[in-house]
Structure 1
Amino acid sequence: MPSKTKRAPRVKPDLYQVITNKVIELLEAGTVPWQRPWNQYGLARNYATGHVYTGINAFLLNFFPNFDVPFYLTYKQAQALGGQVRKGAKAETVYFFKTLYKNVDGKILKAAELAKLKESSPSGGWGAAIPMPRTFHLFNIADIDGINFEIPELKENPSAPIEACDNFVASFPLWGPGGLEIRHDDLNHAFYTPKADRINMPPLPRFHSPEAYYKTLFHETIHSTGHASRLSRPGITLPKEQRKPGSETHAQEELIAELGAVYLCQHAGITVAPPLGAGGLENAAAYIDSYLQLLKNDKRFLFQASSQAQKAVNFLLEVPT
């Protein structure tokens, strides 16, 4: 009797590496994904539930697909609404993290074991928590037939975004006695000083547009959320010599600020421009090499930075996390 040929075990793709390679490829081709124009309809969201995708999923859905409307459904959601995904449509892969627990012997706890532990120790201490990435797939509504999708009317961009952005910035929980301060001492450079808890911004006329001014202000404001009294990020709290330009800590903090600023621009309703300082391009090209180096050395770098950027935005918008 002929022996059966054994199939090679299926190797699961490394989800961290897949996404990281995708971003590396774009950066090496000279494309910075988070500098692409935003969709006029706003942030990517689930059409059925209204859920706005955050963290790494916000990064993937807002910066990569090229659809007119950023609304998505799962295959089952489309069917439940009476629709059908078009044959050949490409799904967008998004991620969630399932937390597993290991006991003191390093063994993954089964669901029943974990349930008993939670019952006996409701306050925690169930073992070492391990976040494990899982995937699911979404389809843009442009690839779904049979549903009469109701698309909201586009809001006109305000002719004078200054007042709208001023009101948006004023809503941040940073101001007041002993809080963050904005000055205009240095006319040529925008920066955040952790020791003084102060942002310096060149005056608005030094920028080529109000949008460029506020994009830069949002970038520095995201930096300020890393202050020890707020979210306490290493890129802000470590001694200066440990977070100097060229270091991994500095590069990660810059990416956090860039992603966070882009998200804030969308919340404020302004068009995202490249990170312009007074007098021209200052930040974008300078950090690409350091981003590439970190991405090649650490496949979790992008996930961590996008997560921290989302936490910073949530802090400013006072969204519970």
Structure 2
Amino acid sequence: KPWFTEGSLQWPRNLSGREYNGMNALMLMLHCEKEGYTIPRFCTFDCVQRLNKPGKNGEELPRVSVLKGEKSFPVMLTTFTCIHKETKEKIKYDDYKNLSEDEKKEYNVYPKMQVFRVFNVAQTNLKEARPELWEKLEKENGRPFVHEGEMFSFEPVERLIRDNLWICPINVKHQDDAFYSISKNEITVPEKVQFKDGEAFYGTLFHEMGHSTGAEGVLNRFQPTSFGSKEYSDEELVAELCGALISQRYGMAKHIKEDSCPYLKSWLDNLKESPQYIKTVLMDVKKASSMITQKIDQIARDIEREKTENQERTETPKEKVYYASVAYLQMADDTNRLDALKDKGDYNGLLILAKEYYDGNGMDEQYTYASPLQNRGDDLLIEDQHFAVVYNGSVGGTYDVMLKYTEQEVRDHIRRYGVDRASEDVKALAREMAAEQFAEMTRHKMPVFEMPNGDVLHVNYNRDRDSLDVGTMTNAGMTVKHHYPYDHNMTLDANLQGVNEQLNDLEEYREEQQEAEYSGGMRR
């Protein structure tokens, strides 16, 4: 029998969709199992009252309320008050977490345990008063994973095993026992194919991972004990609940292990003797399960990020960026302030200050490059979406403030202004543009010149020479006879027209003058 009704529930959440964690999640799942709730969504009395507001058009909606006689269930929340030691100023805990370690030392942090009373949505008239919301909650409670086939694969855990990412080695072997060895600090489990399905494999693994968190230097639960003792029984309960909680977290059923069944009576007896027993066990379960789910969730995020990055690389290749120098700072009055920020490691502040030197002018193609590092000793200190700052420590130290342009922006600039005074990187892009334009033209029709004398001349763009090469075609290819520099201030058509005009001026291609033939009669 599974710990929780198979396929019945997702992870407990509040009405806005935020997940409960740790002990709260486990207790709410057990509460749902006991009461038969099928939607694990909970709300406080105040939350229920907030649902009673006018509709979108101002109309009055049926009132939502907790059903008469229903009892609430407690959830615990630890809040933190953060007070500055000297100024006594209070800040939010989220802001405190973003402080540096030195800044955190300036605050006293006071934890406070608060208890909130919550109701399951089934304890309200939400289904009748807000049928659309109820239907939405039912759909969201669908099983989080669709397991294809009996031996489905849960990728984050497969990577955890394969890449040895857990706190101890996990050995998957063809044998019959699953166990955690305290002396060797390693987990051994049978191969997945030896289980009836994938869920059974992962549930067993989660159980053993739960044991492994009790190791010395981790959560330190283990004490010298013997098989069958109360301590051993307690540890089995921690591992079983841990396995059940994690399985439920990822949409899998966790059946009670056969070798854990003998401990059921012991667990129930301990609970009857001391209600504090379950609190102690659940605290251990909370710590162990949180440790495991945090690792699995981290791996899942890494996998999702890798997939997204791969998809972006496949679908939309990252556009090349060019760097245009907009301010070259070498005077002490300018560099001293930047030096001070650099020495403190405040690169964000340095970037903000450097941006102030940008005068708002457009791109200067003479100082626009494919890389921000142009000189020996250049060091890219920091960059954001629009700016970059390059430092060179030679000759007292200089700063080059650079504005970033996309390749498309540089291409547009070339079309408007040409490349007469451009950097070599910009000229290289201009040659690439000319080659692309010529290739596009030849896909439709090869450009040829029919000369007045009847010669047919072919033309090709030579990217290395940046020229239009003209010659005649032979079996071995084109024999080049003329080179004409490509003018990037003009279009391809204009360049071809210019070449044609120059060819027509050459003596060798002019029409041959036919001498007039005269025949005179002979006199006798």
Length-normalised TM-score, structure 1: 0.66
Shift of 1:309: 1.5
Q: Which runs of 5+ in 2 are unaligned?
A: 53-62, 90-104, 298-524
2:196 to 208, 212, 217: 208
CA contact (8 A) 1:97 1:132 kept: yes
What residue in structure 2 maps to residue 63 of structure 1?
30
Matches within 5 A, 1:1-321: 35-38=3-6, 40-48=8-16, 50-65=17-32, 66-82=36-52, 83-88=63-68, 90-96=70-76, 134=115, 136-141=117-122, 143-145=124-126, 146-147=129-130, 148-149=132-133, 150-151=136-137, 152-153=139-140, 154-155=142-143, 157-160=146-149, 162-171=151-160, 175=164, 179-184=168-173, 187-229=175-217, 231-235=218-222, 238=223, 242-275=224-257, 281-283=258-260, 285-318=261-294
User: Structure 1 residues 309, 162: CA separation in 2 closer, same or farther (over 3 Å shift)?
Assistant: farther
1:142 to 1:125, Cα distance in 2 relative to 1, 3 A? closer
Q: Which one has the largest radius of gyration?
A: 2
Structure 1 residue 51, shift from structure 2 partner: 2.7
Deviation at 1:214, TM superposition (A): 1.6
- Partner of 1:200: helix, strand, or coil? strand
- Residue pair 2:151, 2:197 contacting (<8 A) in 1 also: no
Write the letter of the residue equivalent to 1:182: N
Summarize the Cα distance change of 1:272–1:86 in structure 2 as closer, same or farther, 3 Å threshold.
Answer: same
CA deviations 1:239-293 (Å, max 9, x no partner) are: xxx3323323222211111111112112332223332xxxxx332x211122123
- Runs of 4+ residues deviating >3 angstroms: 38-41, 114-126, 131-135, 160-164, 171-174, 176-179
| Counterparts of 1:203 and 1:172, CA distance in 2 | 12
Aligned-partner Cα distance in 2 for 1:61–1:194: 32
Task: Say which SS state the counterpart of residue 85 (structure 1) adopts.
Answer: coil
What is the CA–CA distance in structure 2 between the aligned matches of 1:59 and 1:158, rounded to whole Å?
A: 23
Q: Check whether the contact 2:203–2:254 (CA below 8 A) recurs between aligned residues.
A: yes
1:38 positional shift: 4.8
2:197 partner letter: S
Offset of 1:56 from its aligned partner?
3.5
- Whether the 8 Å CA contact 1:41–1:70 is kept in 2: the answer is yes
Query: Alpha carbons of 1:72 and 1:228: their partners in 2 closer, same or farther (altered >3 Å)?
Result: same
- Shift, 1:215, TM fit: 1.0
Take 2:10 and 2:147, find their aligned partners in 1: how far apart are those partners? 15
1 CA distance for matches of 2:76 and 2:87? 22
The residue matched to 1:94 in structure 2 has which SS?
strand
Aligned residues: 259
Separation in structure 2 between the aligned mates of residue 92 and residue 177 of structure 1, nearest angstrom: 39
Deviation per residue, 1:203-240 (Å, 9 max, x gap): 334333322222111100111122224x33323xx2xx
State the distance in 2 between where 1:71 and 1:139 align: 6
User: Which stretch shows the higher mean deviation, 256-265 or 172-181?
Assistant: 172-181
Secondary structure in 2 matching 1:201: strand
Amino acid across the alignment from 1:94: P
2-structure distance, mates of 1:247, 1:123: 45
| Post-superposition offset of 1:176 | 5.2
Tell me, yes or no, if the aligned pair for 2:23 and 2:285 is still in contact at 8 Å: no
Structure 2 contact 240–256 (Cα < 8 Å) conserved: no
Q: What one-letter code is carried by the residue in structure 1 that aligns with 2:244?
A: V
Q: 1:164·1:268 contact (CA, 8 Å) conserved in 2?
A: no
**Identity over aligned pairs, percent:** 20
Give structure 1 stretches of 5+ with no counterpart. 1-31, 100-110, 276-280
CA contact 1:43–1:52 (8 Å) conserved in 2: yes
Which structure's residues are more often strand, by fraction? 2
Q: Is the CA contact 1:189–1:200 (under 8 Å) kept in the aligned structure 2?
A: yes
- Measure, in 2, the Cα distance between the counterparts of 1:254 and 1:316: 17
The answer to whether the 8 A contact 1:168-1:268 is kept is no
Change (3 A) 1:161 1:262: farther
**Structure with the larger RCO, 1 or 2 (CA within 8 Å, 6+ apart):** 1
Alignment partners' CA distance in 2, 1:271 and 1:176? 24
Q: CA 1:124–1:245 in 2, change beyond 3 Å: closer, same or farther?
A: farther
Counterpart Cα distance in 1 of 2:169 and 2:221:
19
SS at match of 1:64: helix
Amino acid corresponding to residue 260 of structure 1 in structure 2: C
TM-score by length of 2: 0.43
In structure 1, the residue matched to 2:472 is: none
Q: Could you report, residue by residue, the CA deviation over 1:75-110 in whole angstroms, capped at 9, with x for unpaired residues?
A: 2101101252243252341232679xxxxxxxxxxx
Structure 2 Cα separation of the partners of residues 177 and 94 of structure 1: 33
Kept in 2, the 8 Å contact 1:44–1:58? The answer is: yes
Q: Shift in Å at residue 124 of structure 1?
A: 6.1
